[in-house]
Amino acid sequence: MPNNYLSLSPSEFETLSADILSALHSVHFERYGEGRDGGVDGKFVTNDGGVWIVQAKRYRDVKALLRQMGHEQKKMQQLPQAPARYFLVTACSLSPANKAVIQQVMGPFILSTGDIYGAEDLDALLHQYPAIYRKHHRLWLHGVEQLTQYSQRAHYIRAEATYERIIHESKSYVAHSAEHAINQQLATQNSCLIVGDPGIGKSATAGQIALRHLLETPQAELIWIDDRNFEQALQLIRTDSPQIIVMDDFLGATFLHDDGILAFQRDWQALLRTVQRANGRLKLLFTTRNYILEQALAQIEDSQPLIAELCQRAVNIEHNSAKFRIDLVYSLLREANLDTEQTAQLVQEKLYWPLIKSTSFSPRLLQMLCSRLADIPATQLASSITAGLEGQHQLWQHVFQRLSAEAQNLLYLCAIAGKYANVTELKRAFHTLYPQVQNRLAPFNSFDRALIELEPTFIKTEQHLGDIWLNPANPSLIDFLHRNIADNPPLIDALINSLEHFDWGLDHFKVTVQSKHPIAISAKQREHLMYKLVELLPQHSSKLMQTFTNGDGALQWVNQPISFGARLTKFWRTVMSNAQQAEATLQQIQFLLPSDAQSWESLLLQGGIQELLDLTRYLTVDQQENIWLLAMDNLHNSEDAAALAEFYQQVPKAKQLFKQQKRKFIRKLLNACSEEIDRTNDTDFLDAIMHDLYRIEEATGANISDQKYHLYSKLEDSFAGEEFVFSDSVRYYQKPGSQEGSEEIALQLSLLTRNVDLLFSKLGSELTELNT
């Protein structure tokens, strides 16, 4: 069966071409990044200094290819060194006559028609080199079973554990009124956003709805993702079978604004568009907290129509229905494994009422509390329930105090290390922290014993890449630990001294007064933290993630390096809003900054141009001008161009410099946008480029009509008749008011008192019979 090479992006097709020719000729063709390539997509230098060149043309129509080849011949003539051999690879079908015409046009660079490869040639070569075929998964992503074979070994095995957990939760799960709206949205819109406070039951609700969908559609697959990984969700989508994807707590416990907003919103929008086009085969559930959603949307551009529409119809879960409270408490107590004496005490003293009437009613809290009741003597049930209902903080406090000092210290480190913390780094930090807190060295093997003590109630471990990685077991546990740390200044000092990772310090402590991070620190501690961050800034760091990387197309875990430029960008973004702190910070990091133009060029490539340009405002005039001109000559995308345009508008010195060559300046900005438009057919990227163009127009007065025409032409091709409108600012989401007030709940419960007492008396009889 012929392959559809148009399913690959231009960059992916270039990589495929280089891979095939490398294997065929037993050489390695060097690849180049996206952008203007001067007619060179791959290059190999022979032992005698000759150059072989690969040019990949992802054309649908042979006539268009033939028209382009005259331009390619001119490009070859302009190269500093004429190629000794030129290979052309194209996605369209070529006849012998077509190849002969191409060789004649490209003379003398194409030595024979054997160096020209059309679609049929690629099909034959991929059959000859199956490893290359497996590597380029988009070729076989549609209509074959390899995806299941490869990805089940990596991701879907975790879905089995999730499936078992959901089934277990179904024993005590109680449906609520919001489910009807969620199910209706899944049926009509194929997606739904579930919001609510921590511990209210968002994940449990999503799990039970997903379970019912699987029961109704047995051939469907469940994909459960809980680490904000849109990229992984997009990779795991299949078009040939039904799926339901749950993006649980998809904005995290705190929405980290320095994680790349543009990429985040593009991936979110792309995922929603994929659902929209799946004709009902793909169902998507998101869960998040109310306040995290509000925080995230305050930072996302008001220009993403699918995101806006999803958030506008968000379903809020608030368990303020009297019936729901009664049913849930009954269900939890029924599953609590109480003995006859405990059950009799509970019914006789009507201990279920404090649970039902709790002012801080939380399904998660009640589940934790009821699961502990079986271990409590009957005579102490009343006091235990009263103590547990003071809140999740008190419940965690009760459990936390029972832990060893070693386990407590490790938990504090997990609270600042976040998800997928490396056990080797945690162990070093543990042995630095423990003596400061306990005034003695950690006992032999104490770190390992702490791990065993904490898992699985507090932490979960996974093994990847020959190492162990830790994850906190519950978001509310992290909230509790953050509060404990914030209330303990000596512990804050010790934790700062123990930081092993740059991100550990930047992601959780209030580095600035305006920061929204959870751990507040004093001015002296802030100064201490800044010195520690500067110490960690040049040190290697990385992030564990899962992606398709192996030659057989399987999902693989990789420890992705984080460049110095990315770390510096993140650091500067934190302080740049405060000029005094920014200037003080620059003095501390001055010795880490590049001293030559080539190194600055590399830094601009690695980091965010908006933040790095802001940093230059505190450098000398000579340094500023050189770096600004470098930035103008190294714009990699429309986002860079828009950032430089706004910098020109805001900084008088920059405006004065670029005004001296304004025509060139405007041309560079617009060329960066045009090149990115050429590189992509993704409608969401095109949407973002359009808004960058508007930013450039507003900042510089540039005429963007040519770019707009080019972009709209591409959109028309992409949508093929679908209407697409760049939306104006949209009110995304507003948390609804309470469904029922506390007075209404109290009234309902008072009317149901007799029925509730009868219900729970039956619980006593039922459990007595079960125990008998």
The pLDDT score that the predictor gives to residue 319 is 63
In which band, very low, low, confident or very high, does the pLDDT at 76 lie, cut at 50, 70 and 90? confident
Question: Which range in 149-158, 194-203, 214-223, 588-597 is most confidently predicted, on average pLDDT?
Answer: 588-597
Structure tokens at 1: 């069966």
Is 106 buried (19+), middle (13-18) or exposed (0-12) by CB count in 10 A?
buried
Q: Which whole number is the average pLDDT over 263-289?
A: 87
Q: Give the pLDDT confidence of 548-588 residue by residue, as tens digits.
A: 655 555 667 888 888 898 899 989 988 888 888 888 888 99
DSSP state of 415: H
Specify which residues 463 forms β-bridges with. 468
The span from the CA of 117 to the CA of 597, in Å, is: 41
Closest CA to 347 of 765, 772, 760: 760
The pLDDT score that the predictor gives to residue 90 is 94
CB of 545 closer than 8 Å to CB of 560: yes
Cis peptide preceding 652, ω within 30 of 0: no
Q: Give the pLDDT confidence of 602-659 residue by residue, as tens digits.
A: 888 888 888 999 999 888 888 888 999 999 998 988 999 999 999 999 999 999 999 9
Residue of higher predicted confidence among 670 and 744: 670
Alpha helices in 499-637 (DSSP H): 502-506, 523-536, 564-575, 579-589, 597-606, 609-616, 621-633
Q: Give the pLDDT confidence of 140-155 residue by residue, as tens digits.
A: 544 334 434 444 444 5
Q: Give the pLDDT confidence of 224-261 residue by residue, as tens digits.
A: 887 667 777 887 887 777 889 999 878 764 454 444 67
The span from the CA of 625 to the CA of 630, in Å, is: 9
Q: Give the pLDDT confidence of 124-137 residue by residue, as tens digits.
A: 898 888 768 766 76
H-helix or E-strand spanning residue 472: strand 467-472
In which band, very low, low, confident or very high, does the pLDDT at 13 lie, cut at 50, 70 and 90? confident
The pLDDT score that the predictor gives to residue 550 is 56
The pLDDT score that the predictor gives to residue 766 is 57
CB of 761 closer than 8 Å to CB of 347: yes
The pLDDT score that the predictor gives to residue 490 is 94
Q: Give the pLDDT confidence of 380-393 residue by residue, as tens digits.
A: 888 887 776 655 66
Residue of higher predicted confidence among 218 and 401: 401
Q: Give the pLDDT confidence of 205-217 residue by residue, as tens digits.
A: 999 898 888 877 8
Residue of higher predicted confidence among 159 and 90: 90
Assessment of whether the complete model's pTM goes beyond 0.75: no
The pLDDT score that the predictor gives to residue 216 is 79
Alpha helices in 106-173 (DSSP H): 119-128, 130-135, 146-151, 157-170
Q: Which whole number is the average pLDDT over 417-421?
A: 88
Mean pLDDT of the chain: 81
Alpha helices in 634-771 (DSSP H): 638-650, 652-659, 662-679, 683-700, 705-719, 742-751, 753-771
Closest CA to 606 of 636, 633, 642, 644: 636
